[in-house]
């Protein structure tokens, strides 16, 4: 373990880009072995959890309606909304716990808080993107669907959901360590998001008052964009990428500023 002098010297060491990359990769490999390698089911659980929710939602609404709001597959309709929400919640929560997870290693000057955030973001983004591809591809095969995809809209929706998770994750990094109770509150607050993010109902099918309130939820814009990529005839007019961009930049800037100012204090608590 590093001594007190090393702890006080916790600053970026000016390593060259390749050395910095090796640090990030090492942190990623550590998390892969500890989080997924030792957990029963490992990576399979990352697929089973969202897939189970999608199947339950699809079956429930298949009993209540003859056809989904878009297309012919209840599973695909729910999955195109739920996986956007999954990208956001996974990254927002896991990036938020980056400093806590890598805290022992962050006592070494060669490992910075930026490395911890980058490693967690990259690894969890890779996992959630692969899971999304497998689930959506599997649903298409299971239901025998022929999809005409708008890859630009799909990649923009996924990318903005990832950045939204990163932005709020950076702010959560500070809040989780400064106020431990916020970790529990975050989990509680994100649970009902699928009810107000366009996962179950299209924005156009909501009552007017619900539309006016839910429009301020940035995830609603991204689920609409994702479905635009999967359903060629669907053209949502309420989407504002500028508004989503504000939700990305403001929490990210605030979180990074707070971490830069207080990271040593938080790690030494």
Q: What is the pTM of this model?
A: 0.88
> In this predicted model, what pLDDT tens digit does every residue of 51-96 receive, in sequence order?
787 887 777 766 666 778 888 888 999 999 999 999 999 999 999 9
Residue 11 pLDDT level (bands cut at 50, 70, 90): very low
SS3 state at 139: helix
- Rg from Cα positions in the chain: 20
Cα separation, 220 vs 161, whole angstroms: 11
Q: Where are the domains of the chain?
A: 53-103+128-267
- Both tokens of 259, joined, read 């971490």
Longest Cα–Cα distance in the chain: 68
Mean pLDDT of 153-158: 97
- 71-101 burial string, b = 16+ CB within 10 Å, else e? bebbbbbbbbbbbbbbbbbbbbbbbbbbbbb
Residue 2 pLDDT level (bands cut at 50, 70, 90): very low
């Amino acid at each position: 373990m590093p001594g007190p002098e090393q702890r006080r010297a916790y600053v970026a060491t000016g390593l060259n880009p390749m050395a910095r990359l090796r640090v990030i990769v090492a942190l990623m490999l550590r998390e892969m072995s500890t989080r997924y390698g030792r957990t029963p089911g490992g990576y399979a659980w990352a697929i089973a959890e969202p897939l189970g929710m999608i199947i339950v939602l699809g079956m429930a609404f298949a009993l209540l309606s003859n056809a989904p709001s878009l297309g012919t597959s209840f599973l695909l309709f729910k999955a195109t909304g739920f996986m956007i929400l999954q990208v956001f919640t996974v990254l927002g929560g896991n990036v938020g716990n980056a400093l806590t997870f890598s805290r022992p290693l962050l006592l070494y000057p060669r490992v910075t808080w930026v490395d911890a955030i980058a490693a967690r973001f990259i690894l969890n983004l890779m996992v959630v993107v692969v899971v999304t591809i497998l689930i959506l591809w599997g649903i298409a095969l299971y239901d025998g669907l022929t999809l005409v995809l708008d890859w630009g809209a799909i990649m923009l929706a996924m990318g903005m959901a990832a950045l939204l998770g990163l932005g709020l994750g950076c702010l959560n990094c500070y809040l989780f360590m400064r106020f431990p109770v916020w970790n529990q509150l975050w989990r509680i607050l994100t649970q009902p998001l699928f009810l107000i993010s366009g996962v179950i109902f299209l924005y156009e099918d909501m009552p007017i008052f619900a539309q006016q309130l839910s429009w301020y939820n940035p995830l609603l814009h991204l689920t609409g964009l994702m479905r635009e990529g999967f359903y060629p005839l669907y053209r949502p007019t309420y989407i504002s990428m500028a508004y989503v961009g504000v939700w990305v930049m403001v929490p990210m800037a605030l979180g990074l500023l707070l971490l830069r100012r207080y990271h040593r204090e938080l790690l030494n608590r």
